[in-house]
Amino acid sequence: MRSKTLLFIGIIFLVTGILLKKIIQVEAFGLILIIIGVTFKFLYIIIKVKSGEYKPGKEILFLTIGLLLFFSGIYLKNTNQTVIKPIYLIISGITLKIIFIIKFIQIVKSNKQVNS
């Protein structure tokens, strides 16, 4: 249960940071909360790997490429370029991250059923 607490705290920090950045325009504090949230979620995955409940496979590519697309889109939002609309990169990145989350949950659940 301790590891799930890390996941939920990470999600809360992440959502709070995004809301602060968008609604209240508190850029620095919002970014700090987002980084803390991502760190908690990363720790959750590391704990699952160390416990043997999750063995990273090809689905890690979804996460890696998703993060690269997402951060590229955020970076390009602040530049004046006409090659691609940054929102397409951001949405593609978020979609790949969601696919990773779904695959991650499926793998962890299947490993729990095998070990039970």
**Vertex 65: Cα angle to 11 and 75 (nearest 5):** 75
CA nearest neighbour of 38 among 66, 72, 57: 66
Global pTM reads 0.75
Q: Which tens digits make up the pLDDT trace of 63-115? A: 999 989 988 888 888 788 788 898 999 899 999 989 998 898 888 888 777 76
| CA quadruple 98, 104, 109, 114: dihedral, nearest 10 | 150
CA nearest neighbour of 87 among 70, 66, 68: 70
**Can you spell out the DSSP letters for 56-104?**
--THHHHHHHHHHHHHHHHHHHTS---SS-HHHHHHHHHHHHHHHHHHH
